[in-house]
Amino acid sequence: MANNSSAPKTIESNHKVAMVLTNLLFIVICFLIAFPLLAGLLASFRPGRELVQNGLAINWDFSTMTLNNYKYLFGMLGSDSVIDSAKYFMWYKNSLILTISTVILTLLVCYFVSYGITMYPKFKLSGFLLFMVIATMCVPFEILMLPLYQEVTVLKLIDTRAGVILPGLCAASTIFFFHQYMQGLPRELLDAGRIDGCTEYGISVKIMMPICKPAFASMAILCAMGSWNNMLWPMLVFRSTNKFTLQIGLNTLLTPYGNNYDLLIAGSMFGIIPILLIYLLFQRYLIDGMTAGAVKG
Amino acid sequence: MSNFKKLLHSQKVAPFIFCLPFVLSLIIFWAYPLISGIVMSFQDITFSNRVWVGTAHYTKLLKDKFFITAVLNSVEYMLLTLVLLIPIPMLLAVLMESRLTKAKGLWKVIMYIPALTSVVISGMLFRMMFSEAAGSQMNQMLAFFGRAPIPWLKAKGTAWIGLLLLCMWRWTGVNMLYFLSGLKAIDGSIYESADIDGATPKQKFWYLTLPLIKPTTIYVVTISVYAGLSMFLESFMLWNGNSSPKNIGLTIVGYLYKRGIEKNDLGYACAVGMVLMVIALIINFIQLVATGTFKKEER
């Protein structure tokens, strides 16, 4: 009798030890993950030249912290500050415009393309087109980068937003995600719409689009993240400084002399905010969207 | 006119209209640059004209020691990221799914945050943490163990710790989410019957979880192979530009960028790109055969 009651107890206490250890592990990992950003955030309240001289480390000394970098960023510390602030917020504005237009255009185009591929069982080309969608995913963008750069130059799209947006408009992963999402939806809805006298295009907008709202939400976040943080292709296309995006602009501040690091560190931290806000508000949709391709393989 | 309109609105023509943007984009922004990239790799391209040089670029590549360094670096980086970014996120996902973990939502939200930061910002932060100044995080850590500060980013061994930590920092959470979604798709009753049969947690992992999340694993391995082989910006940011001491951070795409953009030698750079594509396709093919993806489709 005594033996019987002690066995579940050891299992239970083992379970408790395992539970404490597992959660401790996740606490440590999350601390390590927060670490660089926390160090950067703390450093953004100290003079930028300290970054060059001392490197970056977590420093909790609040007495040496000031708001000067952020005041500088918002143009409140003299004429240099006003000029740099104007420059920074121009990049910020460029990034915002580019991101918003990329998200809207990409989602609309990809939605209609996958609607065409998915919603017409009698459409003979759909299998081939889907194969091509996957094929485009199998060629890394970096390989197409140089010929594409030449092509964009010839098409006179260099240094324009269209030159950045158009080549990525039919994003294969987005088309594929919409396709997977729509496959799970009943096609009878379309017939109901046809009986009511809707055109094919009317059905795709008025009936299907509202049903696909969750898919739009998750793709919008992923697309916004990609566009806001995109660097390589915009860096090739944009020539003039007044068209630079935030990422390209921040990169130009990274000089070996470190004369701009006040602006760089505060600007970097401030540059994470829009995407962090979107993420925290919509992270539920994001996780659904991100993992769509992984389950079916 | 009304006939035309009727045709345009018919179920036969509509899908063509819907798919038209994709077909156009496929031709203009994928097939054309791909083919022109292949053609350019056999040409010498100057500002005004193109000269056909046959396979000269490719034979030159074989003897180009910078290129060989770049290929070795990229392949090494890819293999190391596979070792680090497949098993660890997989185990974390299994732990996260288990009943042991509390506050799952919070951990997931935090672990994804690094993926939101751009390479410019995260690269800058890591560059500063691995700076050679005595006050940098890594040198402070050395000082804690009583060692003198070292220039982390100047020797391959120590610099790659930074490069790989940057990669792990950004992608561990993302890969964990992929594996979590794979785990969610597994029917829980399988585990219940395994419990009844008296399977240990280790056995359940080897004989149930691992085979059942294979589609997810293949997906994550595939994207990791591509991302690892075409890595460029991480090293570009960590060394503040496209040149690192003794080329310890030179990758295939870094070399492509150097020859194509910085030196304007487009033909040679395109040949570099083609080699990258062949390597990527071969590795992917081996991986798919080894994991038996093709066999499954035959059945």
ipTM (interface pTM): 0.88
Do residues A38 and A124 share a domain? Answer: no
Do residues A66 and A117 share a domain? Answer: no
Of the candidates A15, A26, A264, which has its C-beta nearest B101's C-beta? A26
Tell me which residue has tokens 């130009």: A252
- B124 close to A263: Cβ distance less than 8 angstroms: no
Does a structural domain hold residue A122?
A: yes
* Domain parsing of chain B, residue ranges: 59-290
pLDDT at A231: 93
Does a structural domain hold residue A116?
A: yes
> How remote is the C-alpha of B186 from its chain's centroid?
26
Do residues A158 and A212 share a domain? Answer: yes
Do residues A120 and A212 share a domain? Answer: yes
Contact B116/A22, CB-based, under 8 Å? no
Give, in words, the CATH class of B59-290: mainly alpha
Of the candidates B19, B106, B169, which has its C-beta nearest A116's C-beta? B19
Chain B CA closest to residue A247 = B120
Compute the nearest-CA separation of B102 from chain A (Å): 7
Contact B277/A251, CB-based, under 8 Å? no
Does a structural domain hold residue A26?
A: yes
Do residues A39 and A171 share a domain? Answer: no
B192 compared with A9, residue with greater pLDDT: B192
Contact B129/A250, CB-based, under 8 Å? no
Chain A CA closest to residue B24 = A170
In chain A, what residues touch B220 (CB-CB under 8 Å)? Answer: 294
Domain ends where: A43, A70, A97? A70
- A76 close to A140: Cβ distance less than 8 angstroms: no
A88-93 contacts at long range (C-beta below 8 A, 24 or more positions apart): A88/A249, A88/A263, A88/A267, A90/A242, A90/A244, A91/A244, A91/A245, A91/A246, A91/A248, A91/A249, A91/A250, A92/A246, A92/A271
Summarised one tens digit per residue, pLDDT across range B238-275 is: 998 888 899 999 999 999 999 999 998 999 999 999 99
Of the candidates A57, A126, A250, which has its C-beta nearest B136's C-beta? A57
- What residues make up the domain containing A92? 85-291
Does a structural domain hold residue A6?
A: yes
B10: left (phi over 0), alpha (psi -120 to 50) or beta: beta
The whole-angstrom separation of Cα B201 and Cα B194 is 10
- Spatial CB neighbours of B111, under 8 Å, sequence gap ≥ 6: A29, A30, A33, B172, B173, B176, B177
Do residues A143 and A237 share a domain? Answer: yes
Does a structural domain hold residue A77?
A: no
Phi, psi of B291 (to 5 degrees): -90, 0
Do residues A19 and A161 share a domain? Answer: no
Phi, psi of A102 (to 5 degrees): -60, -45
Do residues A187 and A243 share a domain? Answer: yes
Contact B277/A143, CB-based, under 8 Å? yes
Contact A146/B15, CB-based, under 8 Å? no
Helix (H, G, I), strand (E, B) or coil at A165: helix
In chain A, what residues touch B174 (CB-CB under 8 Å)? Answer: 290
Does a structural domain hold residue A296?
A: no
pLDDT at residue B65 above 90?
Answer: yes
Do residues A13 and A104 share a domain? Answer: no
Does a structural domain hold residue A79?
A: no
Does a structural domain hold residue A258?
A: yes
pLDDT at residue B33 above 50?
Answer: yes
Domain ends where: A23, A47, A70? A70
Tokens of residue B234, six digits: 């991480």
Q: Structural domain tally of chain A?
A: 2
The whole-angstrom separation of Cα A231 and Cα A224 is 13
Tokens of residue B246, six digits: 């003794």
Of the candidates B25, B34, B128, which has its C-beta nearest A144's C-beta? B34
Burial of B19 (0-12, 13-18, 19+ CB in 10 A): buried
pLDDT averaged over 10-residue windows placed end to end, chain A, 297 residues: 55 84 93 94 91 87 90 90 94 96 96 94 91 89 93 94 94 91 85 88 91 89 92 94 94 81 92 92 78 52
CATH number of the domain residue A110 falls in: 1.10.3720.10
Do residues A56 and A171 share a domain? Answer: no
Do residues A163 and A280 share a domain? Answer: yes
Within chain A, residue ranges assigned H as helices are: 2-43, 48-54, 68-73, 78-118, 126-137, 141-154, 161-165, 172-183, 188-195, 200-202, 209-211, 213-229, 232-237, 246-253, 261-290, 292-296
pLDDT at B195: 87
pLDDT at residue B89 above 90?
Answer: yes
Tokens of residue A214, six digits: 């969750």
pLDDT at A1: 42
Contact B102/A40, CB-based, under 8 Å? no
Do residues A270 and A139 share a domain? Answer: yes
| Residues 240-279, chain A, touching B (beta carbon < 8 A) | 247, 250-251, 254, 256, 264, 268, 271-272, 275-276, 279
Tell me which residue has tokens 């000394």: A61
